[in-house]
Structure 1
Amino acid sequence: LTAQAAVNNAKEDLALADSILQIASDRFREGLIDGLSFNQAKINRNNAFDKLEQNKQYLVENELNLKILLGLSTSETLVLKEQIELNMNIPIELVAQNEASIKLYEAQIEIADFERKQALTRFTPKLDLIYYWGGTQYQQDFNLSFTSSDWQSNSYIGLNLSIPIFSGFGNKNQYSSAKISQNIARLNYEEETRKSSMTDSILLNNYLSSKKLAETANENLKLSGENVQLAYSRYSEGLISLENYLSVYDDYLAVESQFFTRLSDYMINKATILSRNY
């Protein structure tokens, strides 16, 4: 969107440069200006054309990169209907927590806690219920008979109690290691939460700062644009020289470049925060 806006501005600048060149050409033929001023008008027009072509190239590169992210082919058409709106009157006062990073450390705590519980079960007595139901057959010739009368029912039920007494400190070491891992995971989670909070504060501060800078740059762009129109009118009326007009126009180009830089920073910070909040 920023690249498209830059292309639109460059087209307007080129149209204005063409008008200045036409006026300079007429005055040169009439002998009102010399070749030096006429050449300055030509250079101004060429610079405006050069800026337009650079912005077009930048726009194409951004569109292709966006197609890659969206999984589109180069032959498919990408239409961006959204317009750039600063929406300065809609402030953002809160940055949502970076859940993707925090959840990773939460998962590590859960895994460490599970391993600690698993190690703790090695100290717990184990009681098993044993049940068997079947049949027994005795034959003197060692042959197997499938006659029901040759089988005798055989079943039993019992309990098996296992009490860990001593394992050479193996179980204790495993439990201690699991508990240490759990404490480390918790400390890592707390540290990541603290760092995430600091990062979020920096992001919010960058957003608020870029918002103010974008507002100032936007106001300067409007004022500088008005100056260019006033200078154009005065030059058309012969009240100022071409050098005076080009000086005002150069100031406008510097302000325009600064505006798009500030706007880009603002939109990046805003998009980052909105991706968290929604």
Structure 2
Amino acid sequence: MDFKTTIIFLVACLVGFGQLTAEAQQVIPITLEESIKYALENNVEAKNAQLEVLVSKGVIGENLAKGLPQINGAYDFTHNMAIPLVFLPNEGPFEDPTVDSDVIPARFGVDFQSSLSVRVDQMIFDGSYFVGLKAAKTLKLLTEFDREKTENDVIEGVKKAFFTVLVNEERRRLVEANLARLDILLKETESMYEVGFVEKLDVSRIKVQRNNIKTDLDKATTATSISKEMFKLQIGLPREYTLEIAEKLDDFNTEDDFLTTLELDGYRRVEMDQLNTNLELAKLDLKNNQVQYMPKLDGFLTYQRAGAALDFNSIWKQRNWFTAAFVGVNMTIPIFDGLSKKNRIQQNRVQIRQLENQKLFLEDNIEVEKFEARSNLRNSLKTLEVQKENRELAMEVFEMTKIKYGEGVGSNYEVVEADAALKEAESNYFSALYDAFIAKVDLEKALGILK
């Protein structure tokens, strides 16, 4: 059962029993691979990027439809409440001696008119249509690259959030162990104080150190809780679910894994694909403006039935309806547009030059990112090795100091100082470990191998 199936099963159980309470919640184990897979399906940014791909498919269909026949129907009904007048000269064959005017008003028309028509328009030639089709397909390709870039960003965020949770949990466990160690030392010191082997000051000194570590434990617990909530937000999991990381730091903290990443040459960067596609779109926009100088040719066909009558009831009789049909072509020839197309073409050429400059810069920037990420990871690994050794030495010093104190040849102050040094060494070690993991993720991103 994969992680998503587990979520669905859990929801079904909770709804079935009607127990959406804190007691009914179950802890769901999750790995890094499952986290990435779930995030790519449920993270808001990832889902929107996938929906944008669907939008681009609709844009292709919309542009394709412009080249298909456009069929429209029309119906109209007119009641001529006052039939329009036509004025004729009152002379010659139209002269009417009974009219004392040089014009004769005549009404031509009927009281009721109606028509039903169907018109078919078909584009025969339009240079911008074919450019638009290619541009729509290129736009879809750009949205695919945008989706890939978004998914890379999501994977980067998930990995960093995942390692943040792991490091915080490990740091919390070590603080708990440190607190338990001091509790034992405090009990031993209090026992020694009761029999007069140590002073009250020794007990107080350890209590102060214990209180400080207790505060550190509260901070570590809070940091762990916050990082888990941020992790759930990153993968798109509702807050009401409780997650438990099913992997440990040791599963990832392998020297070979870090060194292998350092030796990789890298893969294609989606940012370069995005820029190349934007450059292609700019060239298509230039071409579209250039073809605007070419004529456009369209064909049309109209079929019409028209009727007329002097009264309302007669207009619906078949004998009063007559057929008309028209077929023809329409050519639009651009002559002068106030230099609008010329200015748009000039803008396109400037945009293309800008994108070409950005491409050169991006190529150099990618190489710098690789160099910087490799350098940061190497430095982080060196720092991690040093802090690992310091941690081991601090643990050794603490154990020896504690033994000396137990045998009566060491001071309580030395034990407290050794414990403080051990706590600092452990904190430095996990900070270095976290930096190493983040540097590795940054190098994977720079090499284009995030997965």
Residue by residue over 1:124-146, the C-alpha shift from the partner in whole angstroms, topping out at 9 and shown as x without a partner, is 5x585979899xxxxxxxxxxx9
* Offset of residue 247 of structure 1: 1.8
Superposition map of 1:89-238 within 5 A: 89-90=256-257, 91=259, 92-93=261-262, 94=264, 96=267, 98-99=269-270, 101-123=271-293, 126=295, 169-238=339-408
174, 178, 190: which one aligns with 1:9: 174
CA distance in 2, matches of 1:71, 1:116: 41
Q: 1:115 to 1:22 in 2, by over 3 A?
A: same
Aligned to 2:443: 273
Aligned to 2:183: 18
Distance (Å, rounded) in 1 between the aligned partners of 2:214 and 2:185: 13
Partners of 1:69 and 1:170 in 2: CA distance: 48
1:251 aligned residue (421, 426, 429): 421
Structure 2: how far apart are the matches of 1:249 and 1:97?
49
- 1:43 to 2:208 alignment: yes
CA–CA separation in structure 2 for the residues paired with 1:73 and 1:29: 54
How far did residue 169 of structure 1 move? 4.9
Q: CA deviation at 1:77?
A: 1.9
Relative to its length, the structure with more strand (as a share) is 2
Against the structure 1 CA distance between its residues 171 and 46, is the aligned structure 2 distance closer, same or farther, given a 3 Å change threshold? closer
Give 1:4 shift. 0.7
1:168, distance to aligned residue in structure 2 (A) = 6.0
Contact preservation (8 Å) 1:88, 1:215:
no
TM superposition shift of 1:103: 3.6
Deviation at 1:24, TM superposition (A): 0.8
Maintained 8 Å contact 2:391/2:425: yes
Greater displacement, 168-177 / 63-72: 168-177
RMSD: 3.3
Equivalent-residue separation in structure 2 for 1:19 and 1:189 (angstroms): 63
Cα deviation, residue 70, structure 1? 2.6
C-alpha distance in structure 2 between counterparts of 1:250 and 1:57, whole Å: 21
Indicate the residue corresponding to 2:255 in structure 1.
Answer: 88
Structure 1 spans left out of the alignment, 5+ residues: 135-145
How many residue pairs are counted as aligned between the two chains? 266
CA distance in 2: counterparts of 1:127 and 1:38, whole angstroms:
96
Report sequence identity in percent. Answer: 19
Q: State the distance in 2 between where 1:3 and 1:171 align.
A: 61
Distance in 2 (CA, whole Å) between partners of 1:128 and 1:43 is: 91
TM-score with structure 2 setting the length: 0.52
| Amino acid corresponding to residue 238 of structure 1 in structure 2 | G
The residue type paired with residue 199 of structure 2 is D
**What amino acid does structure 2 have at the position aligned with 1:182?**
I
Structure 1 counterpart of 2:388, one-letter code:
N
Q: Secondary structure at the match of 2:372?
A: helix
- Aligned with 1:63 (options 217, 223, 228): 228
> CA separation in 1, counterparts of 2:236 and 2:299?
60
- Residue in 1 aligned with 2:434? 264
The 8 Å contact of residues 25 and 38 in structure 1, kept in 2 or not, is answered as yes
Q: 1:170 to 1:50 in 2, by over 3 A?
A: closer
Cα pair distance change 1:129/1:244, threshold 3 Å: closer
Instruction: Give CA-to-partner distance per residue, 1:192-229, whole Å, 9 cap, x none.
Output: 33223323322221122112111211121122112212
Structure 1 pair 173–50 and aligned structure 2 pair: CA distance change class (3 A):
closer
Residue 73 of structure 1 deviates from its aligned partner by 3.4
The one-letter code sitting in structure 2 at the alignment partner of 1:35 is K
Deviations, residues 145-189 of structure 1 (Å, cap 9, x unaligned): x9xxxx9xx99999x998877766554443333222222222122
Residue 143 of structure 1: aligned partner: none
**Aligned AA (2:221):** K
Q: Is the 8 A contact 2:171 2:427 kept in 1?
A: no
Change (3 A) 1:244 1:186: same
Instruction: Extract unaligned runs of 5+ from structure 2.
Output: 1-165, 304-317
